[in-house]
Every structure is written in structure tokens, then in C-alpha cells.
Amino acid sequence: MSEITPTQAATPPAAPVKAEKKEDWRSFTWFCVKLVIIVLIFRSFVFTSFNIPSESMMPRLLVGDYLFAQKWSYGYSKRSLPLDLPLIPGRIFASQPERGDIAIFEHPIDGTDYIKRVIGLPGDEVQMVNGVLHLNGVAVPKVPVEDLVLPISPDGHCARARFAEQQADGSFACRYPQFRETLPNGVSYNVLDFGLEPQDTTAPVIVPEDRLFLMGDNRDNSLDSRFPAEPGRGIGLVPQENLVAQASFMYWSYGDGVRWSRIGRGI
């Protein structure tokens, strides 16, 4: 008569181990699916991220700034969703921006994301006269403030050669003339002005219904509503339905190194 040894009796069957591994894989897969759904909802309806690729919004925003933008400010449309999925009819919970807002929007022609400051609302007359912004026939106050000084990286340069200067430590920097503008609603911000350029004098434009006049703060290095809408260039008068989000705060900034003083700053 054969006997079962203690070692044989304690050996568990293999099948439950395989079943447990299969269950772990299913749980992990379901966790990943839920995580993707949560991220998509967050990015579609709460905040989206945006990085600054050009100098058009200097001095407020620098190349290498990364920011969060709130989606609920201007309502929701298909442009709020990944790949512009047509799941939202028209624009719901729509709200008009205020003058001075920094808005992210899609280019009217090529659909690329842009970022500019809201200057003119529907019904406003907007004109540039010798570098001075005029709203509804009244000049917007423009007061000189301390120059903006930015270090030049070894492979970099200034927007104009005349703005380059050597510092006391032997390094080079760009010194840009800076001015403070104050809109009629009290919003103030700094702009850069390199001197008179062709776009510093424009014909008066009345902003139509459901459109916006937007400009970059770096007035002589911004293709904005002063220029007709062309792919990769001017934006013309931007339809409000193209709005995506309102810039909120910076979460990261990197130039030649990490710019710690800019991280966490509101826009």
C-alpha cells in the first residue's frame, strides 16, 4: 500500500496560481483604462498644458515656459476635446473673454494652438498709431518702465543687434525697452517696443460680433490680429468659437537652466 509523504501532500495545484496571475493582469489593465479616462476628462474640461514656443508674448511669457490653462473660462466646444472630436455641438457654457486675458485658441486657418492677449471685443474699434494702441478712438496709456534684460545663451542672439550688451562679468545680454499698458478695464501688463515698425500704424478695425482682436505683448515680434489670417502667420480677427482655454499659472520654466523664480507664478 503506497503512502503520501508530507511533502507531496503540501504541494499546491498549479491552476490557481495561473488564475491569480490572469486576474492581476485584468486588474492592471482596468486601472490603466480608468487612468486614461480620468486624464482625458481632466484635460478636456478642467486644465490643459501649453508650452511657449516663441518670443511673441515676452516679457510676460518666455520661450521654455510651461503653463496650465483653465478650460472652463470660455466654455466648451469640440476644440476642448482631443483631436477636435465633434462630440460637443457648437459651444456650451460660452463666456466672452475680458480685455487683457491671455487666451489659448486655434488658428482660424490651420488649427494650430496659439497664445495671445485679448485686446478688442466685439464692437470695439482697434487701431495702432505710431506704436500706441488706441481703443475706440482713445489712446491706451503706455508708460516707460525698467528695461527687460535677458541673458544670451552661447548659441543665441537678440531680436535686434542693437539691443545686445556686455555685462560686468563678461557675459552678454539683451536689453529691451519695456512699457506698461493699462486697458480701460484696469488690466495692466508690460509690452516690448523695438521702435517704429510697419505694423505700428494700422487702419482702424471694428471687431465684428463673435470675433476677437488679439495681440502679442512683444509688439514688434508678433504675428497677430494686425495681420490677415494665413497658415503659420497672422491670425486675423479670431472667432470666439476657436477659444480653447485661459492661461492660468506656470508649472515649469527652463532656459539655459531651470528658472525657479518663474515656477508657480500666475499668468
Which residues are known catalytic residues?
56, 116
How many CA within 13 A on the CB side of residue 151?
Answer: 10
Put the strands of the sheet holding 211-215 in their side by side order: 47-51, 65-70, 243-253, 102-106, 113-120, 211-215, 238-239
Q: What is the sign, positive or negative, of the torsion defined by CA atoms of 165, 166, 172, 177? A: negative
The answer to whether the beta carbons of residues 180 and 146 sit under 8 Å apart is no
Q: Which residue has the cell 502679442?
A: 216
- C-alpha–C-alpha distance, residues 94 and 86, integer Å: 17
Report the phi/psi class of residue 145: left, alpha or beta, with left for phi > 0 and alpha for psi in -120 to 50: beta
- C-alpha–C-alpha distance, residues 228 and 85, integer Å: 27
